[in-house]
Amino acid sequence: MFEPWGIFVILIVCPLLGGLPLIAWITYALKRKQLSQVGTGNISVSAAFYHGGKIVGILAVLSEAFKGVAAVLLSRIFFADGSSWELVALIALVIGRYWIGRGAGTTNVVWGFVVHDPLVAIFVSFFAGIAFTILQSRKIVKFGVLLLFPLFVALLHFSDIPRILAAVALAGLMGWIYTKIPDDMKLPAQEAQTESQAMLEFLRGERTMVSLDEELNAAIVGEKAATLSQIKRWGYPVPKGWVLAPIDNPEGLTEFLQPSELSPLVVRSSAIGEDSEHASAAGQYETVLNVTSPEALQSAIAQVQASYNHPSAVQYRRDRGLNDTAMAVLIQQQVQSVYSGVAFSRDPITQQGDAIVIEALPGSPTQVVSGKVTPEQYRAFVVETENSYSVQLEGEGRVPQSLIKQVAYLAYRLEKRYHGTPQDIEWSYDGQTLWVLQSRPIATLLPIWTRKIAAEVIPGVIHPLTWSINRPLTCGVWGEFFTLVLGDRALGLDFAKTATLHYSRAYFNASLLGDIFLRMGLPPESLEFLTRGAKLSKPSLQSTWENLPGLGKLLKREFSLEKDFKEDYHKRFIPGLSQLTQEDIDSLEPPKLLARIDFILELLRHGTYYSILAPLSAALRQAIFRVKDRQIDHSVTPEVAALRSLSAIATDAKQILVEFEPQQVFEQLKQTPEGEKILQAFNELLQDYGYLSEVGTDISVPTWRENPQMIQQMFVQLMQGNEPQAGAKDAINSIFAGKRKRSFVQRRIDIKGRVTEVYSRLLAELRWSFVALEKIWLESGLLRQTGDIFFLNFDEVRRLIVDEDSSLIEQLDELVEFRRSQFVQDSEIIQIPLLVYGHTPPHPLAPSELYSDQILQGIGASHGQAEGRVKVLRNLQEIPDIDRDTILVVPYTDSGWAPLLLRAGGLIAEAGGRLSHGAIVAREYGIPAVMDVRGATWILQDGQRVRIDGSRGIVELSNDLRPE
């Protein structure tokens, strides 16, 4: 039993020992530096020398040597000296060192092996020392040692097969880790601690021969060289090239390259920070063409390096608040250009649409980017299907159209490779190959703002007061979640920039979310998964392991969600709502109303946490347990419950009023005792659900209690109409029969519904508080007309109450009028772009021409097919007469739209996904629905006949257009 226990101890203790961050603790204690946040992020001996200096480095060596020796000695407690289990212990130690401790484990293995087999260690050290002295290449020596030590083990212990296999496994593991982990020795030596620079420069033997074939670090060689190396490794044609880091001596490279008239070179800048998302530095640094001799190459390198300190370049960096760093130099084989130019994967002028803008000319690309010659201009549109693509081209000139189409597709693919970040691409064609000379983000088109998520969360045109409250609540909670998972890696992320308003509509920062997802180790399509339900590839094991502590904390919160919410529900929300409903709001003065508003906002801060976590938890559980939508009961959701209650009351009313006048229904019901009971039930429903509104998250929108006309109209239409479809009746019957699935998923759906109820009630109380405050200000003359208060932000409201800000009071009328005018102007914009590039988007243009005028593509959100006449509704100001022949076309779906779906034949929405309100209600009532159909409310016309397929997400158009 002794040996099995030994195996168990080795496999548990050694990884934990390897992951113990002794180096990080030593460096922080002596230098107050977090190694995980500087340089490569490695917690290694070389990082300790680089960032901490000699003393820190020596202590780091001793700490890691101790681990290696301890692992070997631990195995000797259970096994004989020199056994293969000593190497297994080192393997377990290295695994923990890499996965937990963020280091390679070289020092652990070296010292552990010295104790394990001193003779082999001596032989390997001897040959490694000779090799490095001769070759001056750390890479060759490093991987050569991994071949040597298993070989020596085999030669000296040829009969010990387990020992040989363990040595081979250890070498293979170390080799794999070396390919995965960044090398601290590649950091600029001049930025290291002074006493460590000499050692680092000696150990950087191969740095003068770095080529674009390698994986390069932008912090060392600049974005231009790093990007080209990445594009080259992706398989795109990039001219062969070499890179000189700022510290490198160019002599070895100039002797190796030997440029000539037949093989000219181009010497280019690759400054640290150039070609980044924050600054392109376009044209700030030198490029030297036609370098044809070693002497000219040395001169060109010096010229490019010196350009970093040109006055214009220095001023450029100062103007953009960029730090002075250093200049790396990129030397490439020069392309003999037949045609060349620049391609922008997005139009930087219109900043919208899918047009790729290309400028081209015969000859060198320098004439295109110089601005001295007017190039030929083209616009291209790429349409890609699963197995093919086509390019539609606008413009013609001397450059062959077939080449321009290749360039367009190249730009399209590179933008996709960079997760949708618009790219500025320099290209050249030599008669055979289309070469990529440069690709960098279009800085003016960043960040990218997406309407996809926001259209569901905060739909419609938004007033300033609503936004000043919703934005900090939502961004703050999302920041809390992301910080919980990322830990230290959340440093530098500004979660206040998660959302903004364009055209008075909410947009989320796709660039920031993408950065967050990459830091979390999630696949690049994660944003698409959250917004459109795209398939999500599995994250790497390494990223999962790195985020395991944070994911564990998040998982813990998910597990305790129901318990936490119930506790807050009874101790915080119910008492709070009870206190609010008992107050006589009309008798409160402005200071008391402000205190009431602050009290509601404090409750909303807690409610926002649940309003984000509960839907996320429900969606994840549904995906994990593969529960179908039809198996889920949404009856706890307020709008669904209200809809069912209204339908039941309308059914009872039809039995009393067999014949009725639609305009006189309520008067006719008053004439009988049975009718009075119906009206009482209707009023009770209005009392119970009066806090709901057309847009639940917008406090500027009147609630049902304030504006009951819509519910009254729907009630009459339900009395006029037919019964719900069979699918809907079955769903209602099964629910009313009490057959609810108490599964893991259903419990989360129920929590989500209760959270929605609490959140909606709090928002209604918040709205009514502001309306009461506005009434006081209207009477005093501070405001001019109803609704003015919603054109102020909350900080301004507070200043008016607390400070009685005289300067604000003086400009109040002008401020409100200006914002009202802007709001009205934005409200008239029908077609809002799905994506906005940059901070100052232009006025929306008419959408580009459709490539198929008979089929629109969206997201299939509710199974089934339906054919009918279109009814376009851009708002809920007027409730139309609809029936099963009506296909509703709406900009978005929220709780206010839900009642209309009860009698419609199908639904088409410009925004939304499978988890939107409209999709849930549509599935429950057996109505096919297609979401995310861009431009549907202006493409489709009232009376037009369409056929929708809710499974495939397709809308088929007909030329049959019947006038209304």
DSSP output for 737-781:
TT----SHHHHHHHHHHHHHHHHHHHHHHHHHHHHHHHHHHHHHT
For residue 158, the model assigns a pLDDT of 87
pLDDT-based confidence at residue 918 (cuts at 50, 70, 90): low
Partners of 727 in beta bridges: none
| pLDDT score of 964 more than 70 | no
Mean pLDDT of 306-311: 86
**pLDDT tens per residue, range 468-489:** 999 999 899 889 888 888 887 7
| pLDDT score of 319 more than 90 | no
| pLDDT score of 418 more than 80 | yes
Element (DSSP H or E) covering residue 5:
helix 2-19
| pLDDT score of 573 more than 80 | yes
Cα–chain center distance at 940: 32
* 301 or 460, higher pLDDT: 301
| pLDDT score of 372 more than 80 | no
Do strands 448-450 and 835-837 pair parallel, antiparallel, or not at all (unpaired)? antiparallel
Length of the chain: 964
> Measured between alpha carbons, how far is 857 from 459 in angstroms, rounded to an integer?
21
> Which of 720, 701, 655, 686 has its CA nearest to residue 902?
720
* 520 or 785, higher pLDDT: 785
Lowest-confidence segment of 278-292, 395-409, 803-817 by average pLDDT: 278-292
Do strands 886-890 and 865-872 pair parallel, antiparallel, or not at all (unpaired)? parallel
Total-model pTM: 0.66
505 near 697, Cβ under 8 Å? no
For residue 254, the model assigns a pLDDT of 81
| pLDDT score of 531 more than 50 | no
Q: Rank 119-133, 724-738, 801-815, 833-847 by mean pLDDT and report only the highest.
A: 801-815
Name the token pair of 837: 């590039």
Name the token pair of 331: 């030397």
**pLDDT tens per residue, range 195-225:** 555 555 545 544 446 889 888 888 888 899 9
466 near 698, Cβ under 8 Å? yes
Alpha helices in 181-242 (DSSP H): 197-203, 218-234
CA distances from 316 to 274, 279, 291, 850 (A): 11, 9, 28, 42
* 549 or 759, higher pLDDT: 759
Owner of token pair 């009856």: 635
For residue 398, the model assigns a pLDDT of 92
| pLDDT score of 641 more than 60 | yes
> Measured between alpha carbons, how far is 220 from 200 in angstroms, rounded to an integer?
14
For residue 132, the model assigns a pLDDT of 54
| pLDDT score of 727 more than 50 | no
For residue 741, the model assigns a pLDDT of 43
For residue 367, the model assigns a pLDDT of 64
Judge residue 254's burial from the number of C-beta atoms within 10 Å of its C-beta, 0-12 exposed, 13-18 middle, 19 or more buried. Answer: buried
| pLDDT score of 27 more than 50 | yes
For residue 165, the model assigns a pLDDT of 92
Per cent of the chain over pLDDT 70 is: 83
Q: At what angle do helices 574-582 and 590-625 cross, to 10 degrees?
A: 150
**pLDDT tens per residue, range 542-568:** 666 667 787 788 889 999 999 999 999
For residue 123, the model assigns a pLDDT of 77
Mean pLDDT of 140-146: 76
| pLDDT score of 856 more than 60 | yes
Element (DSSP H or E) covering residue 478:
helix 464-486
